[in-house]
Structure formats: C-alpha cells, structure tokens
Chains A and B, each alone.
Chain A
Amino acid sequence: KAGVTQTPRYLIKTRGQQVTLSCSPISGHRSVSWYQQTPGQGLQFLFEYFSETQRNKGNFPGRFSGRQFSNSRSEMNVSTLELGDSALYLCASRGPGRVDGYTFGSGTRLTVV
C-alpha cells in the first residue's frame, strides 16, 4: 500500500513568487491535513480538507490556501512568498472510521531566496 506522496521534494523560489505543492493521500483516505515545520516554530497546523471541503484552518495569513480534489489529492498554494515561508511543508492523511493520528508524507522543503 503506497504511503502519502508529496511533490516536489525540494523547491527554491524567489520572494514574491507563488508556489503550489501537491499531496496524494493513502488510497481510501479522505482527510488531508497540511503542516508547516520550521526549527523555530515546530509543527504548525495549516488546514485540513475532507471530501473536498476545508474542515479546519490554522492561524495563517490568506496567502496560504489549499484545495482538495474529488480523488482526495490535495494542493496547497502560497502566494507572494516571503523569506519566512521557508520551511518543510508536510501533508498527512487519515483513514475513514478511525479516530487516530495521521500518516505523514516526507514533505516538501521550500526555500525562499
């Protein structure tokens, strides 16, 4: 059974640009969550999608957005990139009927220069 797949693994962008990250959850998982991980702030919750609807949202500015498709794949977008957006962006999926923790992907390392 394939795990959570995130693409790309590494990305370098310039300030002011926008970026789109992709996440394919485990087959059958309908819940996808996104986290930002930085050395100074730890793991911060961005948002969660379930059946194409945003179910929860963290305290991030509107430059951070996401969506989920009918096949449960999810994308997150960051517009007008800032240096402080450099981080590891992690996607996690959760299975149906289980109140359990998430299965994480390996993340996308975004560097803003």
Chain B
Amino acid sequence: GESVGLHLPTLSVQEGDNSIINCAYSNSASDYFIWYKQESGKGPQFIIDIRSNMDKRQGQRVTVLLNKTVKHLSLQIAATQPGDSAVYFCAWKTSYDKVIFGPGTSLSVIP
C-alpha cells in the first residue's frame, strides 16, 4: 500500500500548555494540506486545512503553519486540554487528487 512512515511519535504536554505537532510531507507538488484528529474508536476528524499559497492559518485554538521550502507542516494547539488527547495526522493532496496521510503523532495531555 501507499504509506508514509512506520513509527508513531508521541508528545506529552501539561494541561494548559501549548502543543506543537510537526509533520514532514513528501510531495513537493501538493497544494492542499489538512490536519486530522483521531480519537480512540473513531474515524479521523477534520481540524483545519491550508492551501499552498498561504503559510499560516488560524482556527479556534489551532494554528497551522506551512513551510514549503522544507516541506514541513505544523499544528499548534493553544491551551491544550484533556479532550485534545488523540492521534493527530497531517495529510496532503497529491497531483492525482489522492489524499495521503502522514504517520501520525499521539498527543497525551497530563492533567
């Protein structure tokens, strides 16, 4: 199958702190990027997206930063809460309009 990465990084943060989750994507031609959150027993849930003509986009408590030069995407979560504990995936659209997912990062919030 078409996959990216075999290792799931983990990140532990204290409740109330800010979280930064990083992602390296592989397709330099991608023009659309998405962050998803997956809680246990559920499918991935859309959080925020960004087009390649932008380098920053803000949502409610979340900010996505895009650095096309180094093919890097990050998700910042402000004032992290216990409900933010989940696996976070970055994804990008390929030139064939497929959406490819990164390996995911497990975020654990310490109360």
Contacts and interface: CB of A to CB of B under 8 A. Distances in A.
Contacts of A42: 3-6, 8, 89, 101-104
B3 A101 contact: no
Interface string B87-102: 0010101001111111
Contacts of A56: 96-98
A69 interface: no
B91 A101 contact: yes
A59 B4 CA distance: 13
Given A56-B98, A103-B46, A104-B43, A41 B36 contact: no
B41 interface: yes
Contact of A58 (B2, B36, B45): B2
B42 interface: yes
Given A55-B97, A100-B49, A101-B34, A41 B3 contact: yes
A41 B6 contact: yes
B104 to A, nearest CB: 6
A101 B36 contact: yes
Interface in B1-31: 1-6, 8
Contacts of B89: 42-43
A107 B41 CA distance: 8
A45 B34 contact: no
A64 to B, nearest CB: 9
Contacts of A105: 43
Contacts of B46: 100-103
A48 interface: yes
A40 to B, nearest CB: 6
Interface string A43-64: 1111010000001101110000
10 contacts: A41-B6, A42-B6, A44-B1, A45-B2, A45-B99, A48-B98, A55-B97, A90-B43, A100-B46, A106-B43
5 tightest CB-CB pairs across the interface, nearest first? A104-B43, A44-B1, A101-B34, A43-B101, A41-B3
Given A41-B6, A92-B43, A104-B43, 6 more contacts: A33-B99, A42-B3, A42-B5, A45-B99, A56-B96, A104-B36
